[in-house]
A and B are shown apart, each in its own frame.
Chain A
């Protein structure tokens, strides 16, 4: 199947700093990628839909100025957590599908990134 890779897997930062997480589709082009957030023992919550070459679409309640998403190429989307606070600590997961938004086939997930804000 298709491969989606995230980096870094783990990151620890100080409160007030910014952290960037990368999501890459390694063997396919992804015009659309999705960013999820997962709290311990809870489900995945969709944060935003990243669209190549245009602005991301954020879910209700997600602060677009705190969670900056850039999808500059067909294989890379980045999530930047700005001015991080301890409550931003979470597991962040990206996903993509070779079929894009119009396809309801399998969704491939990155390995996830564990963010801890001290």
Chain B
């Protein structure tokens, strides 16, 4: 079975500092995508960043970057220069079939002014 695990239910970070959110997954596939989604208080899910497994280079989107360790099946999200607007639930996601996603249990991020 393919599963996604987020071991940090809650995290906090000081504004302007850096925080890393952890995610591990289980799959027997060799080529796949991984995603981090953000769910702010407004509740609409927003894509943060996407990683393609066949690419060795870690994905980066402005202040957001990932540390993708394929052999370890680890996919952590690093947020640099944290801003108040980064406060949200963050979900790691893996598409099991097409666009049927497995979601992790989420990490609630608090940004301290």
Contacts and interface: CB of A to CB of B under 8 A. Distances in A.
Contacts of B43: 91, 93, 111-112, 114
Interface in B93-111: 93, 95, 97-101, 103-106, 108
Contacts of A93: 43, 45
A34 B99 CA distance: 8
Interface in A73-118: 91, 93, 95-97, 99-107, 109-112, 114
Query: Interface SS of chain A: helix, strand, loop or mixed?
Result: loop
A37 B83 CA distance: 29
A54 interface: no
A42 interface: yes
Interface residues of B, number: 24
Q: Interface range on chain A: under 10, 10 to 19, 20 to 34, or 35 or more? A: 20 to 34
Interface in B58-113: 91, 93, 95, 97-101, 103-106, 108
Contacts of B44: 109-112
Nearest to A113: B43
Given A103-B98, A111-B42, A112-B43, 11 more contacts: A34-B100, A41-B108, A43-B91, A43-B106, A91-B43, A93-B45, A95-B99, A101-B97, A102-B98, A107-B93, A107-B101
Interface of A: 1, 32, 34, 41-44, 46, 49, 91, 93, 95-97, 99-107, 109-112, 114
Interface of B: 32-33, 35, 37, 42-47, 50, 91, 93, 95, 97-101, 103-106, 108
